[in-house]
Structure 1
Amino acid sequence: METDEIMRANGDVFMHRLKELTDEEKQLLESQNSRIIPYGKAQKLEKEAKKHWDLFYKRNETKFFRDRHWTTREFQELINFDSDVEISFLELGCGVGNMIFPLVKEGFTNFYFYACDFSPRAVEFVKANKLFDANRMKAFCADLTTDDLFDNIEEGTVDIASLIFVLSAIHPTAWSQVAEVAYRAIKPGGVLLFRDYGRYDMAQLRFKPGRKIADNFYMRHDGTRSYYFTEEELSNLFEKAGFEILMNTYVLRRTKAFRVNKVMRKNYSERKHEGVERDLAALEDKVATLDGEAARLAAIHADHAPAIHSKRDEITQAWQRLVQKAQERRTELESSYALHRFLADYRDLISWMSDIRALIAADDLAKDVPGAEALLERHQEHKLLERRAALLEKSSQRRALLEDAYKYQQFERDCDETKGWINEKLKFATDDSYLDPTNLNGKVQKHGNFEQELQANKPRVDEINALGSKLLEQEHFARRK
C-alpha cells in the first residue's frame, strides 16, 4: 500500500497528512470548548507577553529547554557549505541559545551568529554563556512583530535564519509581519529553517478547559501561549511573504509529538549538489552528440582530423574527470551526513540520559498549581521514553510524589478561591439594608438569587471537603499543614 510516510534512521516519521485522532482524543479537544478564555483576559495576555516570557526565564533560567543537537541532522542546509565560506546565521527567537551554542560546539567556525529574542532576560543568559564570543556573535533584544530587528542587523545580509518554536508563541494576527521581517533579513539565495508545533500534537490534546484562547491557540500555565499549525497554514503564510518552499512536512517524533518542519529559500541562486547532478545528466547527451559530430567532421576534413580528434579527446577526458569529481563529491556528502547524523544521535542520547537522571534525582516539588502541572508534564514526557528498569522504578516514585503535590496544590487553590467567594457573599448576607422598607420586592428577588447561588455552589464546597478528607486518610505528606 502506498504511503506518504518516510522514516529516518532515528525513528522520526515525516509525512504530509494530519494525525488521525482517536474517539478519546476527539472528546478531549471538544471538552476544551466548554470553557474558553474571556476576550479581556486574552487581550491582557497579548499586552503582557514580554512579561510572561521574562518571568519564564527568571523561573527556569537555562534549565528548561534542551540544546538542539538535532538541527544539523534535520536541516542539511546547515552543513551544505564549505568550511572556508563565511556564513551569516540569524536565530530569530533565540531563547537562551539552545541552537547556536550546539553549533559552536560542533565547530561551525565559519559562522557569524546573530541571536535575538523578545525577552531581555533570555538575551542576558545568552551573553553570560561561557561559549559566547563577542567577536563572532551578537545577541540583542528584538520584537519580531515590529521592525526593530533592523536596528541591529542590515536587511538582506543573512545566509541562514532559523525560526524554531517561536511563531506558535505569537498571536496569529502578527504572523504575516514576522514572516515579512524574516524575508527582509535574508539575502537572495538564503534559507529560513522552521520548526514548530503541528496540529494535534500531544501538548495540544493535554490542555484542559479554561486554557483555550481561540481555535488551536492556547495559554500555558505560566501565561505563555502556543499555537498548533497545519502544513497549509504555513505554506500560505510564507509563500505570501515571498518565500519558496523547499520542504514542508509533519514530523512524528519518537516521543509521539507532532511537529511541522519547513525549509524555505528566496530563490535558487546557488544550486545544491543534486542540481549539479541533474545538469550533468542533461549535458551527457550533448557530449555524446559532440563526439559523433567530431567523427563526422574528421571524415570530411581529413587534413584537420588530428586536431579534431585531439579536441574531442580533450573534451572527453574533461567530461570524465567532471563526472568522477561529482561522484566523489556525492560520496563525501553522504559520508559527512552519516557522520553528522551519528554524532547528533549520540549527543541526543547522552543529553537525554543526563536529563532523565537529573529529573529523577531532583528533590523539588511544586509550590503552586502551575508549578505542579509543569513538573507533571515534563515528568510524563520523560517517562514515555524510559526503557531501563532502574529508571522506571525511580520514575514511579517521583511521579507519586508529584501527583501528591499536584493534588495538594489543587486543594490549596480551590480552598483559596472558595474562601474568597464565601467572604464576598458574607458581605451580602450581613447587609442590613433590609431594615429600609423601600423597594422590598427587588430585595426579595435579589435574596432569592443569592440563595440559588449558595445552593449551586454547595457541591463545590462538598467536593473540597471530600478531597481534604481523602488527603488526610491517605496520610498525604502535607497533612500537618
Structure 2
Amino acid sequence: MSIEKSVAADEYHSKDFDWEDLRRDIESDPSFSFHLSPFLQSSSPSSDSQAWSHFHSRHSTGKFFKERRYLLKEFPDLLSCDDYSKVLEVGCGNGSTVLPILRAKEKTSVYACDCSVEALERAMQNIADADIENVIYRYHQFCCDFSVAQFPKWLACDLCRTKRVEKSLPYYTCIKYEVNESEGTLTSSPPNKDGRCCLGGVDFLTLIFTLSAVSPERMMTAVRECFSVLKPGGLLLFRDYGLYDMTMLRFEPEKRVGFRHYMRADGTLSYFFDLVCARDLFVGVGFIELELEYCCVKSVNRRKGKSMRRVWVHGKFQKPS
C-alpha cells in the first residue's frame, strides 16, 4: 500500500525545521483553511484492494518506488536483532522495505503481505532479481488486507495470540487444547509430529506508509491485529505521513473525504497523522511507546527552484513481555 518516494538516507529522521513553526505557518494561511475545518460526513469511503491493484498495475515496472535504504538507519533494531529473527512487513508493495532487510541480515526470515496480488508479483520479481543468497528460504509472502481480515493462523494461532503457550516448550511450540464436554476435562496435545502448528508470531512488524491507506474507522482494528501476531517483547516499527506534510497541502478541497483524510484521483486513500493520533492508536491496543516524533525534512525541487517541507511520523512500539 506504500506510495512514498525515498530520498537519500542521510536526509531521513532529521530536523531540518521545527514542526511547530510549520503548524503556525499553515494555520495562519487562509488558503489552507479548508484543511482545518470540521468535516461533517459521518463515515469516510473505504479504499479496497481493487484500487491498489490498479495502482500497482499502472506502475508495473516498479520504478515508482525506490529501495528504502534508510530503513536500517532509522530502525537499527533490525540490524542488531538475534539470528533467525522473524520480520513481518505489512503492506509490502513492490518489496522496497523487505529488500534492505534481506540484504543486511543473512539469517533473518521475512514474511510480507499486501492486499494487492499485483504488488506481490512485483515484489517477488524484484527480490528474485536482487540475487540475494538463500532468499528463497528466507522470504515468504501472502495476500492479506489486515484492516478487514485476520492474519493467517499459520503465522500465529489463536492460542499464541492469547498467550496460551506451554512454557516448558520452545517459544514456537503451541499446544492444541481440546475440551471433553462429557467428562468436563481439558486436555492438550501437540497438533503435529514436531509439535508446531504455527510460527508462534514474529519478532518485528514493520508498518511503513501503510496505515495511512486504511480508513480511520478501521485503523484501531488493524493495529490490534498487528499487536496479536507479535511475540511478547516484539517491536512494531512505524513510519507514515505526518500532519501538514507537503502532500496533504497539495490536495484540493474536493479530494477531502474526512478529517485529515483524502482520496487521490486513482481511488486510493491517504490519512495524515499527528503524534496524538498515532499514540492513541498504538498505546490504545496495548503497545508501549518507545519512540514517537515528527521527521521534518526540507527537500528542494531543483528544476522548479522550490523548497518543500516533508513531514513523516516515526514511531517504535513494543508489545509488553
TM-score, length of structure 2 as denominator length? 0.72
Counterpart check, 1:241 vs 2:282: no
SS for the counterpart of 1:150 is coil
Q: What code does the residue aligned with 1:149 have?
A: F
Counterpart check, 1:20 vs 2:18: no
Q: Deviations over 1:332-353 (max 9, x none)?
A: xxxxxxxxxxxxxxxxxxxxxx
* 87 and 23 in structure 1: CA distance in 2 versus 1, 3 angstrom threshold: closer
Say which structure, 1 or 2, has more relative contact order (CA 8 Å, 6+ apart): 2
CA contact (8 A) 1:179 1:238 kept: yes
Counterpart check, 1:113 vs 2:110: yes
Task: Mark the structure with the bigger radius of gyration.
Answer: 1
Provide the rounded CA distance (Å) in 2 between the counterparts of 1:122 and 1:53: 8
Partner of 1:70: 70
SS for the counterpart of 1:79 is helix
Shift of residue 210 of structure 1?
0.7
Partner of 1:193: 237
SS for the counterpart of 1:253 is strand
Provide the rounded CA distance (Å) in 2 between the counterparts of 1:14 and 1:23: 17
Shift of residue 148 of structure 1?
3.2
Provide the rounded CA distance (Å) in 1 between the counterparts of 2:36 and 2:96: 34
Partner of 2:313: 260
Shift of residue 9 of structure 1?
6.3
Provide the rounded CA distance (Å) in 1 between the counterparts of 2:108 and 2:92: 16
Partner of 1:379: none
Q: What code does the residue aligned with 1:165 have?
A: F
Provide the rounded CA distance (Å) in 1 between the counterparts of 2:221 and 2:117: 21
Provide the rounded CA distance (Å) in 2 between the counterparts of 1:245 and 1:24: 28
Higher helix share: 1
Partner of 2:248: 204
Q: Deviations over 1:218-247 (max 9, x none)?
A: 011211110111111111111111100000
Shift of residue 28 of structure 1?
3.1
Shift of residue 137 of structure 1?
1.2
Shift of residue 208 of structure 1?
1.0
CA contact (8 A) 1:92 1:162 kept: yes
CA contact (8 A) 1:72 1:78 kept: yes
* 23 and 87 in structure 1: CA distance in 2 versus 1, 3 angstrom threshold: closer
Q: Any residues of structure 2 matched to 1:264-303 within 5 Å, and which?
A: 264-267=317-320
Where does the alignment leave 5 or more consecutive residues of structure 1 unmatched? 1-7, 270-481
Shift of residue 29 of structure 1?
2.4
Provide the rounded CA distance (Å) in 2 between the counterparts of 1:101 and 1:150: 23
Percent identity, aligned pairs only?
31
257, 267, 281: which one aligns with 1:223: 267
Q: What code does the residue aligned with 2:222 have?
A: V
Q: Any residues of structure 2 matched to 1:56-455 within 5 Å, and which?
A: 56-61=55-60, 62-82=62-82, 85-105=83-103, 107-129=104-126, 130=128, 131=130, 133-154=135-156, 155=161, 156-255=200-299, 256-267=309-320
Q: What code does the residue aligned with 1:153 have?
A: L
Provide the rounded CA distance (Å) in 2 between the counterparts of 1:38 and 1:23: 24
Counterpart check, 1:30 vs 2:33: yes
Q: Any residues of structure 2 matched to 1:438-477 within 5 Å, and which?
A: none
Provide the rounded CA distance (Å) in 2 between the counterparts of 1:23 and 1:142: 37
* 187 and 94 in structure 1: CA distance in 2 versus 1, 3 angstrom threshold: same
Partner of 1:346: none
TM-score, length of structure 1 as denominator length? 0.49
Q: Deviations over 1:194-221 (max 9, x none)?
A: 0001110001111112100011000112
Q: What code does the residue aligned with 2:55 have?
A: F
Provide the rounded CA distance (Å) in 2 between the counterparts of 1:180 and 1:15: 33
Aligned length: 253
Q: Deviations over 1:232-278 (max 9, x none)?
A: 111111111110000000000232210100001113x5xxxxxxxxx
* 25 and 49 in structure 1: CA distance in 2 versus 1, 3 angstrom threshold: farther
The alignment's C-alpha RMSD in Å is: 2.7
Q: Deviations over 1:281-319 (max 9, x none)?
A: xxxxxxxxxxxxxxxxxxxxxxxxxxxxxxxxxxxxxxx
Farther off after superposition, 73-82 or 146-155:
146-155
Where does the alignment leave 5 or more consecutive residues of structure 2 unmatched? 1-8, 162-199, 300-308
CA contact (8 A) 2:18 2:296 kept: no
CA contact (8 A) 1:37 1:212 kept: no
Partner of 1:460: none
Provide the rounded CA distance (Å) in 2 between the counterparts of 1:230 and 1:98: 25
Provide the rounded CA distance (Å) in 2 between the counterparts of 1:243 and 1:15: 29
CA contact (8 A) 2:293 2:314 kept: yes
Shift of residue 81 of structure 1?
2.3
* 21 and 33 in structure 1: CA distance in 2 versus 1, 3 angstrom threshold: closer
Provide the rounded CA distance (Å) in 1 between the counterparts of 2:115 and 2:234: 23
* 14 and 185 in structure 1: CA distance in 2 versus 1, 3 angstrom threshold: farther
* 125 and 187 in structure 1: CA distance in 2 versus 1, 3 angstrom threshold: same
Provide the rounded CA distance (Å) in 1 between the counterparts of 2:89 and 2:223: 14
Provide the rounded CA distance (Å) in 2 between the counterparts of 1:214 and 1:236: 18
